[in-house]
Amino acid sequence: MAQLSTRVAGGGLTVVVLAIIASIFNVEGGYVNDPRDPGGATNHGVTEKVARAHGYTGPMENLPQDFARQIFFDDYIKAPGFDRLIELSGPVGEEAVDSGVNTGPAQPSRWLQIALNSLNRQGRDYPELKVDGQAGAKTMAAFSVLQKLRGRAEACRMVIKLMDAQQAGHYLRLTEGNSTFETFMPGWIINRIGNVPLEKCA
pLDDT tens, position by position, 44-61: 999 999 999 999 999 999
In the chain, % of residues over pLDDT 70: 94
For residue 6, pLDDT over 60 is answered with no
The pTM is what? 0.88
- Residue boundaries of the structural domains of the chain: 1-79
Task: For residue range 114-135, list pLDDT tens digits in order.
Answer: 999 999 999 999 999 999 999 9
Say what the pLDDT of residue 36 is.
79
CA 180: distance to chain centroid? 23
Distance CA 142, CA 145 (A): 5
Residues 6+ apart with CB under 8 A from 49: 39, 40
Distances (CA, A) of 40 to 11, 54, 120: 36, 17, 40
Distance CA 196, CA 32 (A): 24
Say what the pLDDT of residue 13 is.
60
Give me the phi and psi of 189, to 5 degrees please: -70, -40
For residue 192, pLDDT over 70 is answered with yes
